[in-house]
Chains A and B, each alone.
Chain A
Amino acid sequence: MRNNIRRLVATLMAGFLVVGLALGYWQVVRGPALLARADNPRLVIAEQRAQRGRILDRNGVVLAYDQVRDDGTTARVYPYPEMVHVTGFYSLRYGVSNIEASYDETLRGLAGRSSLRTFTDGLLHRPQIGSDVMLTLDADLQAAADAALGDQRGAVIALDPYTGAILALASHPAYDPNRLDETWEVLRELPSTPLLNRATQGLYPPGSVFKTVTLAAALETGLASPDEIFTDATGTLQVGDFTVRCHNHPGRTTFDLLHAYAYSCNVTFAKLGLRLGVERLAEMARRFGFEEPPPLEIPVETSHLAATSPVDTMDEATLAATAFGQGELMVTPLQMALVTAAVANGGQLPAVHLVQAVQDGSGQWHEPGRAVPHAAISPYTAQQLRVAMVLSVKEGRAGEAALPGVTVAGKTGTAQVGEPGQLPHAWFIGFAPAEAPRVVVVVLVENGGDGGRVAAPVAREVLEWILTTDAQN
C-alpha cells in the first residue's frame, strides 16, 4: 500500500507543479499582452487616475489641464474650447485627437522615463503625472482671429514666415471639447462638419490666390519678366472649347505682368499657364509643398494641382484654368499659408510647426526636432512676388486689407465652387509689414463670396491686432 500512496503523492505534487507553471505563464509570460487588452477595466482606471500634462500657449497660458476631483480621478478641462482644432480632445470614450493624440506619450508622462522610474512608480502606486507641451499659438491672437472670422464657416491661419511657427489657427465652426461625450453623436451628423479642421484638412479650389504660384513659376523659369506687357481687351480667351473670362479689371486693358497679378487678370494667367506647360507649373507647386502632406503635428490633407486625375494627362483647357486657380486644384489653407510664407521669407519654405517645446520628466523644456527649411523660389522671384502683392493691396483687388501706416502685401481669391446656387469661396493670403514681414495671414471663408470684400477684412483685423500689439510691446 505504501508504494501506491507514494505514487498518489507524486501525482498530486505534479498537479501543484502544473498550477505553479500556469501561474508563471499568466502572471509573467502572458501578463503584459493580457493587460493591454482593450477590455481590461484597469486601463480605464489608470487613465482616470493619471494626471495628464498641460497644453500651454507660447506665453504659458493654459489651454488644457487635468482637474483632480475629490475621489482622485481627473477631468480634462479646456479653458479655450475654440482651440480644439489644435489642442484636440481627450475622451475616455472617443479617444484623443490632434496635439492630445500626437503628444499622447509626453502628456501621459511615458516619454523619456527610465524603466526603473516606471517600475518604482508602479510599485508605489504613485499617480502618473504627465509632462507639459507648449504650443506656438498665442491665445490672444487666436481670440482675435476667432473674433474676426466670427460666425462665418472658414479658417484663419497666422504664421511666422521665418520660423514656420503657427501663431493662430482658427477653424469655424468649432466645438467644445469639454462637452465632447454628450455632443459627439450630434457633432458627427451636423452638415456644417464642425469636427473637420478646415485650416489643415479642408480642401478647396484656391481661385486667384493660386496666381501667386503661377507667377512664381513664370518668373523662376524666366518665361516671363515682371515688366512684360499683357493685353486683355475683350475679357475672354478661347482655349479649345473652353472660354476663359475675366471681369476683374474694368477700364484697364493693358498692364505689365505684376499689375496683371494685382488686377488678377484670368486671361493673362491662362496665357502664362499655357506658356509654362503643365510640367513646369506642377514642378513649382511641388516645390511649394503640393502633392505631399506638410509635416504638421496635427492631421493635414495633401494639396493637389489636379485632385481627380493625373497631372501629366492634363489638357490645355484645364491647364489654363489651373493657372488662375480653378481647374481641378484642391488646396488647404495651410498650404496657401506655406506658399505665402515662402514669399515673405525670401523664397525659403519654413518648417511649419505647432509645438514650441516639450517638457521632459524632470521639468526641463526641449525643442522638438524640425525639418530643415528649403528654398522654394529664388530671393529675386520672392522679391518680385512681394512687389506684386503690395501692388495688389495698393492698387488692385486686395485693397480692403490695407492698413494705415503699414505696407500690407496680399492677394485675394474668389474661387468658383461649380455647384449651382452656391457662393464662391472667399480667400485672402498676405503678410505685413511688406518690407520686414512679421506675420503671414491666410483667410478662407467657405461660400463667402468675393475674396476682396469678405476675406480681406478678416485678414486686416488679424494683421491690425498683431501690428498694434507689437507696437505696444
Chain B
Amino acid sequence: MVGVRAIGKGVGLVLTILATLFTVTGFALLGLVERGHVAWMDLWPAAVLGGASLAAWGVLRRWLPTGDPLLLPIAALLCGLGLVLIARLAPNFLARQVLWVILGLGVMLAVALLPPASHNLRWLRRYRYTWLTLGLLLLSLTLLFGVNPSGYGARLWLGLSRVYFQPSELLKVVMVVFLASYLSEKRELLAVGGTRIGPWRLPPLPHLGPLLLMWGFSVVLLGWQRDLGAALLFFGTFLAMLYAATGREVYVWMGVGLFLISAFAGYQLFDHVRLRVDAWWDPWPEASGRAFQIVQSLLAFAAGGVLGQGIGQGYPTFIPVVHSDFAFAAVGEEMGLLGTLAVVALFAILVYRGFRAALAVENAFAALLAVGLSTMLGLQALVIMGGTLKVVPLTGVTLPFVSYGGSSLVMSFVVLGLLLRVSAMFVETHYAK
C-alpha cells in the first residue's frame, strides 16, 4: 500500500516559504538589473503571491490536512517563476496575471474544500452530462462570438467587457470529469466485451459510442477553431484514460492510428498545420521566414548554456510572443540548463504526485479523475516544452502555471484543487472508518 503520509506535515510550509523566497529573489534581481537597486515597490507581486499561497497553505492545513503537501508549493513556485517572467517580458500584463493567480488560488480552495468531503466528488460524477453540455455550449458560443484579445490569430476567447475567457480551457477539465465518470461506470464492460475477428477483439461499440461521439465533437470543434494544441491534449488524455480504465492496448493502437490519419489529413488540408509541421521538421532553410520563432527559440536556449544569462540579462524578447507560448525558452536563456531542468523536474513531480493519489484512492471515479487530470497537465507541459525545443511540432498551448493567460491559469488551479481533494480521499476513507 502506498503511504500517503510519507511526507511530514511541516514540509508544505517550508516549501511554500522557499517558493516565496524564490519569487522575492527573482523580483529583487529584476529591479537590480533594470535600475541598479531594489525598491520595495518592485517586490509587491512576490509579496502578494507569497501572502496568498501561505494563506492557502493555512486554509488547507486547517480544513484539508490530509491533502498532498507538495502540490501547493510546486504550483506557487511555478506561478512565481511565471510572474517574474511576465514582469520581465510583458510588464503590462503583470498586474492582471497577479489577479488571475489570486483568483486561481481561491478557485483551487473552493474546488478542494467546498463540496462536502463525504460526497466523494459525487457532485462531479453525477452531473457529468450537465458539465459536458455546459462546456460544449460555451465552446459553441466561441464559434459564434469568439474574439482574440490581441486582435489577430485564432479567436478562442469569449469577451465580457474587458475580461476574456477561453472556453476550451474549461472544456479540457470538463471532459476529464466526464470521461472519468463514464469510464468508472462502464470500464468492466469496455474491458472484456466485444466480438472477435481473428487475433483482434473489437471493443463493444454500443458502450464506446457515446465516448467517441463526445470526443469527436470536441475535436471537430477544436479543429475548426484551429486550436491544435487543445485538440492534441484532448486526444492524448482521452487515450490515456481509456487505457487506464480498461488496460486494453488495442485502444491505444487504434487511437494512435486515428491520430496519424488525422494528422496526415490535416497536413494535406490545412496550411496552418503544414506550416507548423514543416517548421518543426526542418526549420533551418526558413530560419528568417516561417521558422523564425522556433529558430529564435533554439537560439535562446543555446544562449542560456548551463548557468543562464541571469534574470533580465538575456535577450529572449527576440522570440515573437515569448511571454505566452515561449516562456520556457525565456527560462532557458535566463536561467540556463539548471533552470529548465528544475522546471521539468517540478512538472514531473507534480504529475507523479497526481498519479500517486490515483494509485492510493479506492474510488474508481476519483482514481480515473486524478489520472486524467495529471495526464492532461503533464501532456500540456510536455507538448509546449517539446514544441519550443523542436522535439514535437509547435502547438499553441501554455506552460501550466507559468505562461501568461488567465483561463489556463485558473483551470490549472482547478486541476490542482481536484488533485488535492483526491489525495485527501485516501486518508479520509481509511482513517475515518
Residue of B nearest to A45 (CB): B315
Interface 9-residue window, one of B68-76, B100-108, B294-302: B294-302
Secondary structure of the A side of the interface?
A: helix
B384 shortest CB reach to chain A, Å: 10
- Asked whether, in the complex, the Cβ of B243 is within 8 Å of the Cβ of A27, the reply is no
Residue of A nearest to B389 (CB): A22
Does B397 belong to the interface (CB within 8 Å)?
A: no
Known A31-B302, A34-B302, A40-B299: A1·B344 in contact at CB below 8 Å: no
Tell me the A1-40 residues at the B interface (CB within 8 Å).
Answer: 1-9, 12-13, 15-16, 18-20, 22-24, 26-28, 30-32, 34-35, 37, 39-40
A23 shortest CB reach to chain B, Å: 5
- Asked whether, in the complex, the Cβ of A12 is within 8 Å of the Cβ of B375, the reply is yes
Known A1-B247, A8-B371, A39-B287: A23·B306 in contact at CB below 8 Å: no
Does B332 belong to the interface (CB within 8 Å)?
A: yes
Interface 9-residue window, one of B41-49, B202-210, B334-342, B422-430: B334-342
Interface 9-residue window, one of B122-130, B258-266, B348-356: B348-356
Query: With A and B bound together, what is the CA distance between A40 and B287 in angstroms?
Result: 10
- Asked whether, in the complex, the Cβ of A37 is within 8 Å of the Cβ of B337, the reply is no
- Asked whether, in the complex, the Cβ of A41 is within 8 Å of the Cβ of B315, the reply is yes
- CB neighbours (8 Å) of B55 from chain A are none
Does B229 belong to the interface (CB within 8 Å)?
A: no
Count chain B residues whose beta carbon lies closer than 8 angstroms to a beta carbon of A. Answer: 52
Looking at the complex, which one of A9, A16, A28, A123 makes contact with B337 (CB distance below 8 Å)? A28
- Asked whether, in the complex, the Cβ of A35 is within 8 Å of the Cβ of B299, the reply is yes
- CB neighbours (8 Å) of B296 from chain A are 41
- CB neighbours (8 Å) of A6 from chain B are 359
- Asked whether, in the complex, the Cβ of B367 is within 8 Å of the Cβ of A28, the reply is no
Does B307 belong to the interface (CB within 8 Å)?
A: yes
A31 shortest CB reach to chain B, Å: 4
- CB neighbours (8 Å) of A1 from chain B are 187, 244-245, 247, 364, 367
Tell me the B207-245 residues at the A interface (CB within 8 Å).
Answer: 240, 243-245
Query: With A and B bound together, what is the CA distance between A7 and B243 in angstroms?
Result: 10
For chains A and B in complex, what number of residue pairs have CB atoms within 8 angstroms? 123
- CB neighbours (8 Å) of A22 from chain B are 386, 389-391
Query: With A and B bound together, what is the CA distance between A2 and B362 in angstroms?
Result: 10
Looking at the complex, which one of B332, B364, B374 makes contact with A23 (CB distance below 8 Å)? B332
Does B378 belong to the interface (CB within 8 Å)?
A: yes
- Asked whether, in the complex, the Cβ of B382 is within 8 Å of the Cβ of A16, the reply is yes
Looking at the complex, which one of B287, B332, B358, B391 makes contact with A18 (CB distance below 8 Å)? B391
Residue of B nearest to A6 (CB): B359
Tell me which of A5, A18, A42 has the highest count of chain B C-beta atoms within 10 A of its own C-beta: A5
- Asked whether, in the complex, the Cβ of A20 is within 8 Å of the Cβ of B341, the reply is yes
Query: With A and B bound together, what is the CA distance between A35 and B287 in angstroms?
Result: 13
Residue of B nearest to A25 (CB): B389
A120 shortest CB reach to chain B, Å: 11
Tell me which of A26, A27, A28, A41 has the highest count of chain B C-beta atoms within 10 A of its own C-beta: A27
- CB neighbours (8 Å) of B355 from chain A are 5, 8-9, 12
Query: With A and B bound together, what is the CA distance between A5 and B340 in angstroms?
Result: 27
- Asked whether, in the complex, the Cβ of B348 is within 8 Å of the Cβ of A125, the reply is no
- CB neighbours (8 Å) of B351 from chain A are 9, 12-13, 16
Secondary structure of the B side of the interface?
A: helix
- CB neighbours (8 Å) of B281 from chain A are none
Known A4-B243, A28-B305, A123-B307: A23·B337 in contact at CB below 8 Å: yes
Residue of B nearest to A41 (CB): B318
Looking at the complex, which one of A7, A35, A123 makes contact with B302 (CB distance below 8 Å)? A35
Query: With A and B bound together, what is the CA distance between A41 and B307 in angstroms?
Result: 20
Looking at the complex, which one of B298, B306, B379, B382 makes contact with A34 (CB distance below 8 Å)? B298
Does B304 belong to the interface (CB within 8 Å)?
A: yes
Query: With A and B bound together, what is the CA distance between A402 and B359 in angstroms?
Result: 105
- Asked whether, in the complex, the Cβ of A18 is within 8 Å of the Cβ of B386, the reply is yes
B171 shortest CB reach to chain A, Å: 22
- CB neighbours (8 Å) of A24 from chain B are 337
B247 shortest CB reach to chain A, Å: 5
B240 shortest CB reach to chain A, Å: 6
- CB neighbours (8 Å) of B337 from chain A are 23-24, 27-28
Query: With A and B bound together, what is the CA distance between A22 and B364 in angstroms?
Result: 36
- CB neighbours (8 Å) of A30 from chain B are 302
Does B347 belong to the interface (CB within 8 Å)?
A: yes
Tell me the B343-402 residues at the A interface (CB within 8 Å).
Answer: 344-345, 347-348, 351-352, 355, 358-359, 364, 367, 371, 374-375, 378-379, 382, 385-386, 389-391
- CB neighbours (8 Å) of A9 from chain B are 351-352, 355
Query: With A and B bound together, what is the CA distance between A31 and B244 in angstroms?
Result: 40
- CB neighbours (8 Å) of A35 from chain B are 299, 302-303
- CB neighbours (8 Å) of B315 from chain A are 41-42, 45
- Asked whether, in the complex, the Cβ of B299 is within 8 Å of the Cβ of A125, the reply is no
B332 shortest CB reach to chain A, Å: 6
A50 shortest CB reach to chain B, Å: 15
Query: With A and B bound together, what is the CA distance between A123 and B338 in angstroms?
Result: 14
Residue of B nearest to A26 (CB): B301
Looking at the complex, which one of B243, B288, B301, B390 makes contact with A8 (CB distance below 8 Å)? B243
- Asked whether, in the complex, the Cβ of A125 is within 8 Å of the Cβ of B313, the reply is yes
Query: With A and B bound together, what is the CA distance between A1 and B247 in angstroms?
Result: 7
- CB neighbours (8 Å) of A16 from chain B are 344-345, 347-348, 351, 378, 382
Query: With A and B bound together, what is the CA distance between A368 and B247 in angstroms?
Result: 75
A396 shortest CB reach to chain B, Å: 65
Query: With A and B bound together, what is the CA distance between A39 and B298 in angstroms?
Result: 12
B35 shortest CB reach to chain A, Å: 14
Residue of B nearest to A29 (CB): B302
Looking at the complex, which one of A2, A15, A42, A123 makes contact with B378 (CB distance below 8 Å)? A15
- Asked whether, in the complex, the Cβ of A8 is within 8 Å of the Cβ of B375, the reply is yes
- Asked whether, in the complex, the Cβ of A23 is within 8 Å of the Cβ of B389, the reply is yes
- Asked whether, in the complex, the Cβ of A27 is within 8 Å of the Cβ of B247, the reply is no
- Asked whether, in the complex, the Cβ of A31 is within 8 Å of the Cβ of B305, the reply is yes
Does B407 belong to the interface (CB within 8 Å)?
A: no
- CB neighbours (8 Å) of A4 from chain B are 243-247
Does B120 belong to the interface (CB within 8 Å)?
A: no
- Asked whether, in the complex, the Cβ of B382 is within 8 Å of the Cβ of A23, the reply is no
Query: With A and B bound together, what is the CA distance between A383 and B245 in angstroms?
Result: 105
Query: With A and B bound together, what is the CA distance between A28 and B306 in angstroms?
Result: 7
Looking at the complex, which one of A5, A20, A40, A45 makes contact with B344 (CB distance below 8 Å)? A20
23 contacts between A and B (CB under 8 A): A1-B187, A1-B244, A4-B243, A4-B246, A5-B358, A8-B371, A13-B348, A16-B344, A19-B344, A20-B341, A20-B344, A22-B389, A26-B298, A27-B302, A27-B336, A30-B302, A31-B302, A34-B302, A39-B288, A40-B303, A42-B318, A125-B310, A125-B313
Apart from A12-B382, A22-B390, what 13 extra A-B contacts exist at CB < 8 Å? A2-B359, A12-B348, A15-B382, A15-B386, A16-B351, A18-B386, A19-B344, A19-B382, A19-B391, A23-B301, A23-B389, A26-B389, A27-B302
